[in-house]
Amino acid sequence: MKALMSLGALIGVAGLLLLAGMIFNVIPSSTVRLVEGYMPMQMLFELTCFVAGFAGLSYMMSAMGMPLSRFWQGIGFWAFILLYLKYRVYPPIPFSVRAMYGTVSLVAVFMWVSASEEDWKKFKQPIMNVLDAQTGMNKLLRYMYLVLLPILIGGFSYNAMMPKSEEPIELRTVHPAPPASTKVHGKTYTLQTSQNPYRVNPEGKYDQDFTNANIVEQGMGRLMKPNANPWDDKNQGYLKYVREGGEIFFQNCHFCHGDNLNGRGLHAFAFNPIPANFTDPGTIAQLQETFIFWRVSKGGIGLPNEGFPWASVMPPWEQHLTVDEIWKVILFEYWHTGYYPRTWD
C-alpha cells in the first residue's frame, strides 16, 4: 500500500513540476504533443494519472505528518485544472471554452468536498476560523479580507463597465444542410444518388472498398501505401486520377487549404473563419462526397441563408474548374487525408 502510494506521490510531484516548467516556459508545451483526433482521450488519461498522483501525494504528506487540509486540497486541485488547461493543452484552447471547463470542474470540486457532512465541515473549517478570528493571524486575515474584497469587486465591476471594443461573438454554422440537388455547368446532380465517377476499381466500376484500400495510411505523416504511388507512370484508373486531382489542388486550393490540407496555406492567415482543415476528423471525414461537391462548386457565395455569417471566402469553383476536375480534387482530398467519404446509408 505504502509503495503504491509513494509511486502515486512521485507521479503527482512529477506532474506538478512538468506543469510548472510549462508555465514558466522552460519546457515547451509542445514537448509531449497531444495527438490530433485523440486529444480528449489523452487529456482525460493524463488527468486521471494526476488524480491518482495527488491522492498518493496527500496520503504521503499526512503519513509524514504534514497533512494538507481539505480546503487547500480543493482549491489546489481546481487551480491545477485551470493551469493545466491554459498551459498544457496545445494548440491553445480559447478562453470561453476554458471558462466552461473551469466552471464544470469547480462544481465537481464542490461536490467532492461536500460529499458527506463531515467532509463539508472540514472544508468550511478554515473559512469559519477566519470569520471567528480567534488567533492573531486570523484576525489579520479577516481585516485584509474586509478591505480587499470591496476594492477587488469594485475594481472588477469598473473594468467590466468600461466600454470595450472586443470582437463580438459570432455563431457559425459549420456544415449547413445541403440542398437536395445542385446544378453545375448546366447539369443537375442529385446529392443522394450522385457518385464520384473517378472512385473506380481497375474494371472501371464505382468501388469504395477498392479505393479505400489505396489511400494513405492513418497515423503521423499519413504516408502513401508503399506500392500505391500516384506518381508511378504505369498507373491507370484510381491512382492516376488521384494524381490529376492533386495537380489541380496544388494549382488552385493549397493557397488556402495548405500543402498538408490542414487549412494553413499561404493566404490562410488573412481569413476569418480560417480555411477548413481536411485532416481534422470533423470536416470531410464526416461528410458525403456529394456534399463536398456542392460546397466546392458553389463556394461561400452559394451558402444557404442559414449558413451565416457568410464570411466564407471559398470561391464557387464551378467558375474555374470543370465538373471532372472538381470530382478529381475531391478524390485527392480523401486520398491525401486517409479518410473514407461518408455514405448515405
Partner 1 sequence: MMDSITQKAGIIAAAAFGVVLVSSAGYSIVSAQGLPEGFKKGDLAPEPSAEMIEAGKRVYFTKCVWCHGVDGAGDGPGADRLWPRPRNFNQGTFKIRHTASGELPLFDAKKPVPGQNDLFETVTHGLPGSAMPPWEGILTEEQRLQVLSFVTTQLVKDRKFTDKQTETQTVLQLAELKAKPATDESKKRGSELVVEKKCVECHGMEGRGDGNAFNLKDDWGFSIQPADWHKCWNFRGSRQDPYNVGNIFRTFSTGVNGTPMPSFADNTTVDERWDIANFVNSLCERDALGNPLPIDPLTDKPKINFVIPSDMVEGEIPTDIGHEAWQKAPKRYVAMGGQITHKPRNFVNRIDDIWVRSLYNDKSIVYLLEWDDRTKSVAEGKLPWAPTQVNIDVKEQDPKTGEEGSIAAHQNNYTVYNDAIAIETAVKWKELPAPIKPRYLFGTNDQFPVDIVKWEADGSLRAFKGTGWDKDFEERDNYEESMKLLKGEWKDGRWYVMIQRPLGNKKDQDYDEDTFFEVGQYIPTVFFAWDGHNGDAGRKMAVSAFFYTFMNPPIPRETYIYPAVIAVGVVLLEGWVLTRRANKKKGKTL
Please state, in angstroms and as integers, the Cα–Cα distance from residue 242 to each residue in 12, 206, 286, following that order.
Answer: 50, 15, 20
Q: Is 258 in the site for partner 1 (CB under 8 A)?
A: yes
Q: Is 149 in the site for partner 1 (CB under 8 A)?
A: yes
Instruction: Encode 28-57: b = buried (16+ Cβ within 10 Å), e = exposed.
Output: ebeeeebeeeeeeeebeebbeebebbbebb
Q: Is 269 in the site for partner 1 (CB under 8 A)?
A: yes
273: cis peptide before it, omega within 30°?
A: yes
Among 249, 293, 327, 339, interactor with partner 1 by CB under 8 A: 249
Stretch that binds partner 1, among 77-85, 95-103, 173-181, 308-316 (CB under 8 A): 308-316
Among 14, 17, 97, 223, interactor with partner 1 by CB under 8 A: 223
Q: Is 174 in the site for partner 1 (CB under 8 A)?
A: no
Decide if 317 contacts 326 (C-beta within 8 A). Answer: yes
Q: Is 222 in the site for partner 1 (CB under 8 A)?
A: yes
Q: How far apart are CA 67 and CA 342, in angstroms?
A: 55
Cβ proximity to partner 1: between 181 and 252 the closer is: 252
To the nearest 10°, report the CA torsion of 212, 218, 222, 227.
Answer: -50
Cβ proximity to partner 1: between 81 and 321 the closer is: 321
Q: Which of 18, 85, 23, 15 is nearest to 52 (CA)?
A: 15
Least distance to partner 1, CB of residue 320, Å: 7
Cβ proximity to partner 1: between 178 and 230 the closer is: 230
Stretch that binds partner 1, among 62-70, 107-115, 149-157, 282-290 (CB under 8 A): 149-157
Q: Is 91 in the site for partner 1 (CB under 8 A)?
A: yes
Q: Is 185 in the site for partner 1 (CB under 8 A)?
A: no
Interface positions, 31-90, toward partner 1 (CB under 8 A): 33
Least distance to partner 1, CB of residue 146, Å: 6
Angle, helices 70-83 vs 95-113, to 10°: value is 160
Please state, in angstroms and as integers, the Cα–Cα distance from residue 214 to each residue in 37, 137, 194, 205, following that order.
Answer: 22, 72, 22, 15
Q: Residue 233 corresponds to which cell in the numbers above?
A: 507512370
Among 154, 202, 204, 281, interactor with partner 1 by CB under 8 A: 154
91: cis peptide before it, omega within 30°?
A: yes
Cβ proximity to partner 1: between 45 and 255 the closer is: 255
Q: Is 309 in the site for partner 1 (CB under 8 A)?
A: yes
Number of residues that bind partner 1 (CB under 8 A): 76
Q: Is 262 in the site for partner 1 (CB under 8 A)?
A: yes
DSSP string across 77-115: HHHHHHHIIIIISSSPPPHHHHHHHHHHHHHHHHHHHTS
Interface positions, 113-142, toward partner 1 (CB under 8 A): 128, 131-132
Among 136, 220, 343, 344, interactor with partner 1 by CB under 8 A: 220
Among 30, 31, 103, 286, interactor with partner 1 by CB under 8 A: 30
Q: Is 166 in the site for partner 1 (CB under 8 A)?
A: yes
Q: Is 158 in the site for partner 1 (CB under 8 A)?
A: yes
Please state, in angstroms and as integers, the Cα–Cα distance from residue 41 to each residue in 18, 36, 81, 223, 344, following that order.
Answer: 20, 11, 16, 24, 29
The conformation of residue 251, written as its DSSP 8-state character, comes to I
